[in-house]
Amino acid sequence: MYPKTVQNLIEIFSKFPTIGPRTAARIVFYLMRAPEKEIQELLNSISSLKKKVKTCSFCFNPFEGEEKLCPICRDPSRDKNLICIVEKEVDLVALEKTKKYKGIYFILGGTVSKLRKEDIKKLRIKELEERIKNPKEFGIENSGFKEIIIATNFTTEGEATARYLEKILKPFEIKITRLGRGLPVGAELEYADEETIESALEERK
Amino acid sequence: MYPKTVQNLIEIFSKFPTIGPRTAARIVFYLMRAPEKEIQELLNSISSLKKKVKTCSFCFNPFEGEEKLCPICRDPSRDKNLICIVEKEVDLVALEKTKKYKGIYFILGGTVSKLRKEDIKKLRIKELEERIKNPKEFGIENSGFKEIIIATNFTTEGEATARYLEKILKPFEIKITRLGRGLPVGAELEYADEETIESALEERK
């Protein structure tokens, strides 16, 4: 129904998170009307994304720079014995906005709904275990982790992932905590207000 | 909070229709994880969009080809005396899918909520008037329009736009119609709003 180039681009945009085919179509028609300058800016920004932005060798937080570690992992004032596991980059940013958390992070890269092998493979489980076991190898100098905060979202998937993480982290014999129930059931960190996140951090147990 | 390149791209995606800053951030992180091949495909498709796809000189429907008119406007079996005004490209496609409409179209390019000058300027009002007045100049040979169907959506904005169109099209002394109102297929009276039931009653046959 649409011209081939349009249809092709609609299919690409439909793969983007939260974007369905209808929104994808609207985006394509928006781009068709957008001035050439805006299109060029978009193309340049996408191209430079993978060139300029890299992920931290320890926590997988994206950053720009020559270093191996992100600014958080490099920060000498952060407590390197405290690690917080989050699902996604946006969750890390949500926690950072509270300015209350002083440890380091680990970005898991998603959640699993059913604990099927192919789903779990998409998460950075092996990477997490390696970093808990031997942080120095990945650039973090500490005296051993004292506490692991599992800060997955309080969704069905987040809860299932948290239970799975608790199970695989148990052998390390490190104190494992979860964010306090200041967050309402079904809430996602990304959409929670700072105050709620702050109290959830304080109430962790 | 985010690296500069990431923040920049979030801002660009936030300008896309229906995309807020949060979805924009998720898209950027999705792209960061996407394989290089997928990124290249995206870049190529966006670049070729403006090169390969052009808009019909009469109705503004996007198409690929060397011609000036889109396949619908070129189709000798379509009734060139019947024109249907739609808000957006996706609405044209929705109507085409029914295979019931045999006239030609005009894509207005949006709607207005309040009839402010700066809003109206964004629509193709002048272009519409020119094409109604002198279709031949824009590649359409007909014996004069016999009917104009205003097919804007039944939203507040769509209704306001329809009323505005009716006003500016009145001097042409062409029959103006709107799409029938009523209950959608599969609708249950119990859940339909009063206004819809009311129009369904009025439109009964």
pLDDT tens, position by position, A120-133: 888 999 999 999 99
Question: What is the reported pLDDT for A205?
Answer: 58
In whole angstroms, give the CA distance from residue B10 to residue B29.
Answer: 10
Question: Considering only CB atoms, which chain B residues are within 8 Å of A39?
Answer: 46-47, 49-50
* Helices (runs of H) and strands (runs of E) counted in chain A: 9, 6
- pLDDT beyond 90 at A45: yes
Q: What is the CATH number of domain B55-178?
A: 3.40.1360.10
Put simply, the answer to whether B12 touches A38 (Cβ < 8 Å) is yes
Tell which residue, B161, B154, B184, has the closest CA to residue B106. B161
Decide which of A197 and B51 is more confident.
B51
Put simply, the answer to whether A27 touches B16 (Cβ < 8 Å) is yes
Put simply, the answer to whether B3 touches A33 (Cβ < 8 Å) is no
CATH 1.10.8.420 for domain A4-53, yes or no, is: yes
> How many A-B residue pairs are in contact by the CB < 8 A criterion?
135
Put simply, the answer to whether B29 touches A88 (Cβ < 8 Å) is yes
Nearest to B26 among A18, A39, A41 (CB): A18
Contacts of A78 (CB under 8 A, 6+ apart): A72, A102, A103, A104
Tell which residue, B99, B105, B112, has the closest CA to residue B167. B112
Question: Considering only CB atoms, which chain A residues are within 8 Å of B46?
Answer: 9, 31, 39, 42-43
Q: Where are the domains of chain B?
A: 4-54, 55-178
At B136, is the secondary structure helix, strand, or coil?
A: helix
Question: Considering only CB atoms, which chain B residues are within 8 Å of A91?
Answer: none
Tell which residue, A97, A44, A15, has the closest CA to residue B4. A44
Q: Mutate which of B39, B42, B67 to disrupt the A interface (most A C-beta within 10 Å)?
A: B42
What residue type is A4 in one-letter code?
K
Nearest to B43 among A17, A27, A43 (CB): A43
CA angle B56, B57, B63 (to 5 degrees): 15
Nearest to A64 among B3, B22, B25 (CB): B3
At A44, is the secondary structure helix, strand, or coil?
A: helix
The CATH architecture one would assign to domain B4-54 is: Orthogonal Bundle (1.10)
What residue type is A103 in one-letter code?
G
Same fold, A4-53 and A62-202: no
Show pLDDT as tens, one digit a residue, over chain B (205 residues).
788 999 999 999 999 999 999 899 999 999 988 999 999 999 999 999 988 999 999 999 999 999 999 999 999 999 999 999 999 898 898 888 888 889 999 999 987 777 677 778 889 999 999 999 999 999 999 999 999 999 888 888 888 899 999 999 999 999 999 888 787 777 777 777 777 787 777 777 6
Nearest to A26 among B8, B18, B33 (CB): B18
Widest distance between CA atoms in chain A: 62
The answer to whether the CB of A190 falls within 8 A of the CB of A88 is: yes
Residue A57 DSSP label: T
How does pLDDT run across A71-94, given as a tens digit for each residue?
A: 999 999 999 999 999 999 989 998
How does pLDDT run across B127-143, given as a tens digit for each residue?
A: 999 999 999 999 999 99
In whole angstroms, give the CA distance from residue B106 to residue B150.
Answer: 10
CB atoms within 10 A of CB A15: 12
Structure tokens at A201: 């951090």
Question: For the domain with range A62-202, which CATH number is right: 3.40.1360.10, 2.30.110.10, 3.40.630.40, 3.40.50.300?
Answer: 3.40.1360.10
How does pLDDT run across A151-185, given as a tens digit for each residue?
A: 998 888 888 899 999 999 999 999 999 887 676 66
Sign of CA dihedral A165, A167, A173, A176: positive
ipTM of predicted complex: 0.76
Q: Mutate which of A1, A6, A11, A44 to disrupt the B interface (most B C-beta within 10 Å)?
A: A6
Mode of pairing for the β-strands spanning B147-150 and A79-86: unpaired
Residue B180 DSSP label: P
Put simply, the answer to whether A27 touches B47 (Cβ < 8 Å) is no
CA A182 to chain centre: 21
